Structure 1
Amino acid sequence: MYPHVARLGAAGLAAALLAPPALAQQVAPLSNNGAQPSSAELSQLKDELAQQRALVNRLLLEVQAQREQLQRMGTPSNGVLLSQQRGMGGAMSGQAPVAEPPVLPPVLPPAVTGVPAPLPPQQRPDQPGVPAPVPAQPAAPAQAQNTSRQQPNRPPEVAPIGDQPGVLTAPGTYVLEPSMQYGYSSSNRVALVGYTVIPALLIGLVDVREIKRNTFTTAITGRTGLSNRMEVEVKVPYVYRSDATVSREIFTGTAVERVFDTTGKGMGDVEVAGRYQLNNGGADKGYYIAGLRYKSRTGRDPFEVVTDCERRCIGENVTGTGLPLDLPTGSGFHSLQATLTWLYPSDPAVFFGNLSYVHNFKRDDVTRLVRNGEREPLGSLQPGAVLGFNFGMGLALNDKASLSLGYDHSTIGRMRQNGATSIGSVRTQLGTLLLGYSYRLSPKRSLNIAVGAGVTRDTPDVTLTLRLPMTF
């Protein structure tokens, strides 16, 4: 046996068994005919083996890094990553979903892959007995994968139950959100016109009115992100209203009730809004988002519809019912709303709240249109300011569905006419219990449903809202 064959020994045999077909054909002559390979061929074989060992080592390091990444994603103690992975059902913002973890290929033994196995750490050929140092592993790309859905320092998503979404739209992303809202309210009013001789006897007239109101509002909302912390929004609504009033004609001694039906439809008041995230937030830290919304008066003005009055609707000598013959679709006043939204993630729930203030701008020289084309002067009018707040909790059911519970309350100030409080104007309290549900239909579409139940007399009895945000 030649000396170089003796030096190969078992290592040469193992290399011949584990090497690819091309290398096996080159090593086979050593055992068949004993031909002595040249030093160039031996050097080439050693280089190829070293390259393949380096390739295998690099592949094993990548597999190990991916396995450690999957273990970190499933560890409950990692609150930051869990807070980013939970609550993905309410895709209000319309951003892309979280990237699925890569499917790792099976680790095959060297005999199957045809690549020689790397040396164990305890068998370094240059320094026997000294463990080989472990190369630095690349950083796990978990955070990079989350940026497609929810970037770091961005608030968690919750099922929307109001007009103020919590998650901002990512920059360069456009969201088109068609929506439909239905509201129903009913109220009874009893007016006693006369005087009492004793508490049980009334001399005069009793005016009883029952009002049933149905309101349908469809809207198209578009928003886009200007930066990681700021977004803008435009909302264009279309309103259809139907009112039915059951009453007896005032100042008329009749026992017959009369039904007064009226409807109205048309474009509503266009709104423009902007929101900005004030802080970074994080796990067990609150997020604060400031917003500003402007509402125009593009809808049909309440003072432009014909009121059922022959000459006057206020003061003495009132004639007619005083009800509009056609319902308006807008408020008739410009308004500006400032909001502050707060979100606090506490795995697995997200707590949220909102404070808002609405300022209605005054109108001068207001007149009301009555029958026969006549106008009744009302002077200057300014609706009262609206102070509101809401709070609630969002809970992720799975990676597609989420549920939200909350309460919304608004207090509306009294109307002012010609610088003084309007006669008959009172402060109004509106309270609503809210329930919202969100389901992600696809990576770019979500279905959001919210139900509101009125808990005060002046609040609509029920409100149902359906939204379908789509990302482009």
Structure 2
Amino acid sequence: MRRVALALLATTIIAPSAGAQPTGRRAPLQRQLDQALQLIEAQRARLDAQAAELAELRRRVDAQAQAVARAEAAPLPQLAAAPPRAPALAAAQGAAPGAPGDPAGVLQPPLERVGQAPEDAEQPIQLAVLDSQSSVVTRKGQLTGEFQVDYARADRSRAVFRGVELVEAVLVGVFDINESRQDVLTASAALRYGLTDRFELGVRAPFIHRADASIIAPIAGSTNNDQAATIDSSVKGTGIGDIELTARYQLLSGGNGRPYLIGNLQGVLPTGTDPFAIRRDDLGRPTRAATGAGFWGIAPSVTAILPSDPVVLFGTLGYTFNLPRDVNTRIPPVVITYVDPGDAISGSAGIGISLNQRTTVNFGYAHTWAFGTRTRTMLIEPTAAWPGERETISRDLQIGRFLFGVTYRVTDRASLNWSVEVGATEDATDLRTILRVPVVLLTGG
């Protein structure tokens, strides 16, 4: 069309130069020129409209191509309504092969969480078998209260010979069986408060009911009157125990394969019934059972907790300083003047396994090496053979326990921790079971 219009225009321009034309013949040519110009303008408008449509189509195609590229590169979103799976369950499902045709068996891009996770998705680590060292340090401003009930049982049976050995294997005297049994029921309340995100202070006050039974009975037939020779010194006692003060500082924050490292310092105050101040009968036997140890104690320790989904590895190492003191207690026929209960080295290690979001089981072993007690005594009525003080040291004690525990998080603020300790050595308590209920009273900032 442009060529036709240009040709008509050229003809119009050249025509006057060929010679003078009559005015009547020039008018039709002018009309043709005007019509050609109108056609040119119309075609130009159509071309501009088509160019605009083409540009719009190109823009839409480019936008769709970019959207497809982003969709292919982005991970598939996780359903917002579905709660996050427990680590153990997720691992088990991820390892299981899918059935033929099952979409779960087809490799998918990694899932991306959409929205905010439930509040209980991130909870402090708790281990039922570690007592007051069972979690990382309480965060700043948080106040946690804890109620605890525990029961311990220890039985001992030993054969004792009282008499004279004439020659080897020839004994003249009485054979006794010393049976002792100890039952201790303790209810305690504790508070822990986070001064900072790394430093925590705590206090624990126990109330104890204790029943001790000690029976010395001769072996049947070894005396003329076995019943008369039996000595029963069973006693009971109830009252407040030794108060514990604790301070804990988080030395290292865990995560990315690093353990939580926590320094602990525990102080024991002799607020319970002093075993050396209990009233005794004429034979020196106590009239009631003591609810305290009677000594000040300081116990620094270090706790390491290493999360490794879906398990948690833990370990502790500590040393207990028991401060000696003068007691001056009369237990006929002697007076106990000084007692140093000896220090102790303790350690434990174990594993916590997450069963689901709320339940964890713990297995471990704990061992304490308690050094011998140093005691100084003197006779109430000194003799030439024993004129002054004598110092004796008892044997060391090896106290080993197997540990089993379960932690169940009831709500975001409360959980149940139940543990069982079974004695693994002769010196250990036969059985101890503990139920702890920590509750967050103030959440802090």
Larger Cα-atom Rg = 2
Match of 1:236 among 172, 196, 205: 205
Given that residues 445 and 468 in structure 1 are in contact (C-alpha distance below 8 angstroms), is that contact kept between their aligned partners in structure 2? yes
Query: TM-score when scaled to structure 1?
Result: 0.64
Q: Partners in 2 of 1:332 and 1:455 — Cα distance?
A: 27
What's the CA shift for 1:379?
2.1
Q: What is the aligned partner in structure 1 of residue 305 from structure 2?
A: 343
Q: What is the aligned partner in structure 2 of residue 368 from structure 1?
A: 329
Q: Which runs of 5+ in 2 are unaligned?
A: 1-44, 54-66, 92-111, 378-388
Q: How many residues align?
A: 343
Distance 1:157 1:248, change over 3 A: closer
Match of 1:202 among 159, 167, 171: 171
Given that residues 368 and 377 in structure 1 are in contact (C-alpha distance below 8 angstroms), is that contact kept between their aligned partners in structure 2? yes
Q: Partners in 1 of 2:330 and 2:390 — Cα distance?
A: 22
Query: TM-score when scaled to structure 2?
Result: 0.67
Matched, 1:387 2:348: no
Matched, 1:325 2:294: no
What's the CA shift for 1:284?
1.7
Match of 1:263 among 202, 224, 236: 236
Task: Indicate the SS of the match to 1:188.
Answer: strand
Please list, as runs of the form range in 1=range in 2, the aligned pairs for 1:166-315 lying within 5 A after superposition.
166-248=135-217, 254-256=225-227, 257-308=230-281, 310=282
Q: What is the aligned partner in structure 2 of residue 48 from structure 1?
A: none
Please list, as runs of the form range in 1=range in 2, the aligned pairs for 1:69-218 lying within 5 A after superposition.
150=122, 156-218=125-187
Q: What is the aligned partner in structure 2 of residue 406 from structure 1?
A: 364
Q: Partners in 1 of 2:409 and 2:85 — Cα distance?
A: 25
Q: Which amino acid aligns with 1:396?
A: S
Matched, 1:443 2:431: no
What's the CA shift for 1:307?
2.9
Q: Partners in 1 of 2:424 and 2:120 — Cα distance?
A: 41
Task: Indicate the SS of the match to 1:162.
Answer: helix
Q: What is the aligned partner in structure 2 of residue 355 from structure 1?
A: 317
Compare the two structures and name the one with the higher strand fraction: 2
Given that residues 374 and 393 in structure 2 are in contact (C-alpha distance below 8 angstroms), is that contact kept between their aligned partners in structure 1? no
Q: Which amino acid aligns with 1:187?
A: R
**Range moving further from structure 2, 399-408 or 169-178:** 169-178
Distance 1:441 1:156, change over 3 A: closer
Q: Partners in 1 of 2:243 and 2:418 — Cα distance?
A: 22
Q: Deviations over 1:350-390 (max 9, x none)?
A: 111000100011213x122569xxx9642222110011000
Q: Partners in 1 of 2:298 and 2:260 — Cα distance?
A: 23
Given that residues 177 and 217 in structure 2 are in contact (C-alpha distance below 8 angstroms), is that contact kept between their aligned partners in structure 1? yes
Given that residues 161 and 436 in structure 1 are in contact (C-alpha distance below 8 angstroms), is that contact kept between their aligned partners in structure 2? no
Given that residues 305 and 324 in structure 1 are in contact (C-alpha distance below 8 angstroms), is that contact kept between their aligned partners in structure 2? yes
Q: Deviations over 1:73-113 (max 9, x none)?
A: 9799xxxxx69x99xxxxxxxxxxxxxxxxxxxxxxxxxxx
Q: Which runs of 5+ in 1 are unaligned?
A: 12-56, 77-81, 87-138, 311-319
What's the CA shift for 1:199?
4.2
- Tell me the percent identity: 29
What's the CA shift for 1:258?
4.0
Task: Indicate the SS of the match to 1:227.
Answer: coil
Q: CA RMSD in A?
A: 4.1
Q: Partners in 2 of 1:348 and 1:239 — Cα distance?
A: 38
Distance 1:254 1:356, change over 3 A: farther
Distance 1:205 1:409, change over 3 A: same
